Amino acid sequence: MMKHSITLTVNGDRYTLAVFPWRTLNEVLREDLNLTGTKRGCGTGDCGACTVMVDGRTVSSCLTLAVDVDGKEILTVEGLAPDGERLHPIQEAFIEKGAIQCGFCTPGMEMSALYLLSNHPRPGEREIRHGLSGNLCRCTGYNKIVEAVAEASRRMEKNNGAPGGGRKP
């Protein structure tokens, strides 16, 4: 069996990697690129802990072969706050609204929230719950997460939807 040479742009950085075909995007991100923000829960598409964006759309990285996304742009939770200091408005809202307990679902939840808000900048509660239906949380009971996404939507609108730097002036 042969390794394949692939190129991924992850959070704006280009990587050329040699990978076996059976390795998932999740494994390559976590093990080869050390981007452990993206979690791995069920491994079968049910929990959403592994959610990342590929070319602007959320996917389950546990069910995505790395070879299958050769040449694509990947955004992970690390890319939400590229300088590692100023948080994305979604992250700020999650903290402020108490939407994080153990935190295991958070990276996936935030990617799903970003995808939702990029398509529906002002979602209602129903839309938020729909948008997060592919993400499970064992801790919060979801209400705080729904509130956080609504809050993030207000902040991002004030901010013209620009990601990053959602601080109040």
Residues that bind ligand FES (CB under 6 A): 40-43, 45-50, 60, 62, 100-105, 137-140
Please report, for residues 79, 103, 118, 135, 155, the alpha-carbon distance to residue 152 in angstroms, rounded to integers and kept in the order given.
17, 18, 11, 18, 5
Q: Is 50 helix (H, G, I), strand (E, B) or coil?
A: coil
Give the one residue of 12, 45, 98, 165 binding ligand FAD; rule: CB under 6 A: 45
Q: Which is nearer to another protein, 62 or 87 (CB)?
A: 62
Q: What secondary structure, in 3-state letters, does 84-151 show? A: CCCCCHHHHHHHHCCCCCCCCCHHHHHHHHHHHHHHCCCCCHHHHHHHCCCCCCCCCCCHHHHHHHHH
The reply to whether 104 sits near another protein by the rule CB under 8 A is: no
The reply to whether 46 sits near ligand FAD by the rule CB under 6 A is: yes
Q: Which is nearer to ligand FAD, 48 or 89 (CB)?
A: 48
Residue 48 near residue 109 (C-beta atoms within 8 A): yes
Q: Which is nearer to ligand FES, 40 or 129 (CB)?
A: 40
Tokens found for residue 108:
């996936």
Q: Which does 156 bind (CB under 5 to 8 A by kind): ligand FES, ligand FAD, another protein, none?
A: none
Measured in Å, how far apart are the chain's first and last C-alpha atoms? 56
Closest-approach residue to ligand FAD (CB): 45
Footprint (CB under 8 A) of another protein, residues 131-160: 131, 133-134
Give the one residue of 38, 51, 106, 140 binding another protein; rule: CB under 8 A: 51
The reply to whether 112 sits near another protein by the rule CB under 8 A is: yes
Q: What angle do CA 143, 130, 119 make, to 5 degrees?
A: 110
Q: Is 55 helix (H, G, I), strand (E, B) or coil?
A: coil
The reply to whether 68 sits near another protein by the rule CB under 8 A is: yes
Q: Is 59 helix (H, G, I), strand (E, B) or coil?
A: strand
Interface contacts to another protein, rule CB under 8 A: 1-2, 4, 20-22, 24, 27, 43-45, 48, 51, 57-60, 63-65, 67-68, 112, 115-116, 130-131, 133-134
Interface contacts to ligand FAD, rule CB under 6 A: 45-46
